[in-house]
Structure 1
Amino acid sequence: MQNIKQKSPLMNTYARFPISVAKADGSYLTADDGTDYLDFTSGIAVCNLGHRPKLVQRAVEIQLQEYWHVSNLFQQDIQERAATSLITGTHLDQVFFCGSGAEANEAAIKLARKYWFDKGTLQKSEIVTFEQSFHGRTGGAMAATGQNKIKHGFAPLMPGFTHLPFNDKQAITNINPQVTAAVMLELIQGEGGVVPADQDWVNELVHYCRTHGILIIADEIQTGAGRTGSLYAFEQFNVKPEIVTAAKGIGSGFPAGACLASAEVAASFSPGTHGTTFGGHPAACAAVEATMGVIQEEGFLREVQDRFAIFRKQLEQLASSYRQVKQVRGSGAMIGIVVEEAAPYLQKLRNRQILALPAGPQVIRVLPPLTASAEELSTFVQVFEEILQEGEISHD
């Protein structure tokens, strides 16, 4: 085996920013050299209430004074309350807690298959997903993902998944109702380029699934917890999935994932069918309850919608004024800015103390906290325009 000198005891699995974090608060991250950055990555759509929101911090501190871990063999009121916070106001009835989004999607895949097994329909085990989707990096979630670059080097992949073109009406008829247990989709593809589903396509997909007895799984890992302006993105698309997966923003940075389901489907997870050691961790559940409590406060999401509508309009004005900006897409605080090449813009933003992310080679992914102020959003627009001006003069 080749002797490779390691610079760090950490495996080299991330292309990290050249920033060493010292602290973070609100919309800002501070490097160990004292530089403050306006953080519009939000921990990759995790810190929806900003870094270290005080109400969430206090809730976790209170829980840590009670107990840290007792295992899921015990009844825990904090889990009941956290689960209630995730399904309040929805058509969903029960929650399975886990530790991440990939785990939530693994649970959803198992649950869909178990549902049809319990009905004696053993042939219905296929999961249909879509090209350019991202559902995680564990075995099943990776196989579900519609991006070959995620799978490179990991063959053989878990069988039982079919990938169809996203937003393609004709492809819907390729779904075989005899073997398909569920269709799994992101209503806005995040890692795939911040690409929203087309409403007409969603309508036809839902109609096909309802007509042929196919479950719908909505992957709301990145779009949930208010990120798109509603509690979950499915609310904006006139669809009621039997299964919804959530993670990222639900815990304000504490590792929490959840698989939500209707009562009928959830009943297939009986004792012994699925489990986790750390899922539903009491500190994480305290963070979930507090986070979702803030997001569901009266007027909170309406104010988010109004503030980010202005932000979106400002970005669209830049798109109409500068040839470098091809398109602005997304919803709420999940925005993709399409350019020729994203990396140089991300570098220039970082040089001006603003952090954003790529979503593929041509998309600048902007994920501010839902709590970002109008002034902070305007700062991004102003700095981004300055960068655009360096490369091209404004045109009519």
Structure 2
Amino acid sequence: MKKKGFFIVTLMIILLFTLNVFADSIDSASNYFASDEDVNISKEILGDIYSVGRTIKVNDKVEGDIIVAGETIDINSKEVSGNIRTASRILNINSKNIKNITSVAQNINIDKETIANGIYVSAEKINFKGSCNGFYANGSTVIINGKIDGNLKVNCDELIIADNGEVTGEVQVYSPKEPITNSKISMSDIKYTKVDNSKNENELKALVGFSTIISLLASLILGFVIYTVSKKFFIRTNDLLIKEPLPVVLGGMASFILVPIVSLLLFITVVGLPLGILSLIIYFIIVYLSPVVMGIILGRLILKYKNPYLQLFVGILVVRLLSLLPMVGAFVWVVSAMIVQGFIVYESYQSIKYKENRI
């Protein structure tokens, strides 16, 4: 796994969730909810823990599951009776009686006091010192320095079975390099499959190139459908962007920032949960489609008096190609999302105002 990928995932988690949108609370089912920059849980929890934050620490017994996301997660409970599910940059676990651990991170450290049933992890570096009944990992460097009373299956760049490493079941390794083993385990005990990284990289490049072409074609087809169904909307948007750009931009910025926050707030209310889920789904659909819609708008601005379908083709192609660039792409996507949401907000406002005036 590459650092860049983990950094982007972690950054998105932090940006989306490390907002102090609701205080610590325990519901009627004894589940604990917390969101803050720094979350420190130092009391026994009888239900599940749901938490997001920059740093999250769990220091006491948990009867249920721990489902958390953040930059750094430390779970030092004496006992976790349920499952641990996490997404983070750094994860440290040192707890007993865990059902299963399912985690994605950049660095994962499972300390020697940890006892779990199954462990399913993906990280750049994984250091395992505990005990479990099955260990399944995907990463760059995987260090086994604990006891696995079952099977070990690893897909990695490098596997190190250290001095205290012990595996009673089957060992399967997929790696470009042979595993480094201790005196207890020899290569004859391991089902080793050599992986050719250069071949995989070439296949990946070919797949990415093919996927890019398919993505562009899909955007163009989608653009034709959207334009055909919503011609009047695009005629109004072009006039509006020229005459009144400020309301569109400000409305788009407000919508882009506030809608996810309001949706997350609705998540913590029983009545508002369906509406929160629906609003978040619609929000991400709009964000996903925004480069296509922005391409149509841009094409109509650049080629004012040309064929509308030529405008559409050129505009979408320009925006989508820009969105594929490493550094520029994210900026193009965000700006497109803001402007498109700005049009939707402004049109909705005008529609409501028009109906009020008629009444």
TM category, shorter:
under 0.3
Comparing both structures, which one devotes a greater share of its residues to helix?
2
TM-score in terms of structure 1 length? 0.25
TM-score in terms of structure 2 length? 0.27
Comparing both structures, which one devotes a greater share of its residues to strand?
2
Computing the radius of gyration over CA atoms, which structure comes out larger, 1 or 2? Answer: 2
